[in-house]
Amino acid sequence: MTTLVNVPKNRGLANTNSGLNLPIWSKWIDEMFTNDLPSVFTSNFNTGISLPKVNIKESADAFIVEMAVPGLKKSDFHIDLDNQLLSISTEMKDENENNQDNYTRREFGYASFKRSFTLPESVNDSKIDASYKDGILSIHLPKKEEAKQKPARSIKIS
């Protein structure tokens, strides 16, 4: 059996039947993305924001949604309630312009996220409130009176 393709340890493909010194594709692609690229390519793709993680806690009288989103301001958030759908979103735009000598360099950045949750019928939507402190967005979702847990009690037999 003839070996047409040899797979070296670095997992790139090299043609063993050719006398040409062609680049190993995986190495070439790795170098293309790890070499210093102009910031116009890197700044728009690495904005530092991703879909934030959410903790949801339930107590006897409420649900609490906590979202870790450091580096933002209260005014950056949009919290909407449409029927039973709670949506939390933000949108940030960044535009930098440097004028030096005879050239202008402009860089644009954009980052956003949106998380949506369907609320249970037990939430009293008229009393929902939110706060933002130390990078944590907290949304308090109180339960309706009839949905709150009642303490355990003993029933006497007559």
| Structural domains of the chain ordered from first start | 5-35 (no CATH), 54-147 (2.60.40.790)
pTM for the structure as a whole: 0.58
Q: For residue 149, give both structure tokens.
A: 């847990």
Residue 127 DSSP label: G
Q: For residue 55, give both structure tokens.
A: 């903790």
Q: Which residue carries 């409130």 as its tokens? A: 129
**Does residue 147 contact residue 157 with C-beta atoms inside 8 Å?**
no
| Tens digit of each residue's pLDDT (9 = 90 or more) over 43-96 | 444 445 568 889 999 988 999 999 998 888 899 999 999 989 999 999 887 777
